[in-house]
Amino acid sequence: MTRLVGIFGYPLSHSLSPAIQQAAFDYHKIDALYQAWPTPPEVLAFEVAKLRGKQYLGANVTIPHKLEVMQLLDSIDKMAMDIGAVNTIVNENGTLVGHNTDAYGFIKSLKEGSGIDPNGKRALLLGAGGAARAAAYALAQEGVAHITIANRTLYRAVSLGDEIRPILSDVVAISADGPDLLDAAASADIIVNSTSMGMRHSEAEGQSLLHSKQIPASAAVYDMVYNPSVTPLLSEARQAGATVVGGLSMLIHQGAAAFHKWTGKEAPIDIMMAAGEKALSHMASD
């Protein structure tokens, strides 16, 4: 029986996960098919329920479902519960268990890509959704001294700040559209974009919340967006002389952790990275 795995999100035209995960299944000669499952919010519950079937190993979850999917699962592990977002579902004999591999993928790729140790640093986090929750949690666990959360909907930034404050007291929430953003960027050691700003095929394609003159040359700028590989924010950061890290590495590392949870096997990182780069190149030429 061919096992099925996929990714829930809407829209999904940008996703590299099918190419990356299929490469891992093929490498290990596992009879499994990884598919993209574009899922509007109104049918999420129906689609998630299918995962209880014996044919399904589980799923990944992306924008906009990482928070809402939690209420549809039977149990959620401690890290995902602490973060308040799920990006990986495992079918354990008909029981659906939620996990979060984003925090692990984010920190591992940040350290590898920038060479920076987050401990004692000041971070600016753009966005307050599911991916931002994972980044804020991971940065707090790594011992950053301060996080500013900037979001266009201020109450969501305030809410995330309140949730992080038990593990990091120095958290500030601001509007991404206000003047405080420039001050926060000027004093940041680490700048992280967790929004879809700059994503290819999105309404914000070609846009950046910050420009080169607003980015310190000493900062590490991390963009979770991986399509295009050099986003508008990363382009601005390069002009500023800052260290830049793209989102593909995070996708690979969080995907590798998810693969291990589904199969119990170590993911072939190099194989997955090559598949991701190839698929991204094809997208860029479309």
Q: List, by residue number, the catalytic residues.
A: 66
- Per the CB < 8 A criterion, the answer to whether 234 and 246 are in contact is yes
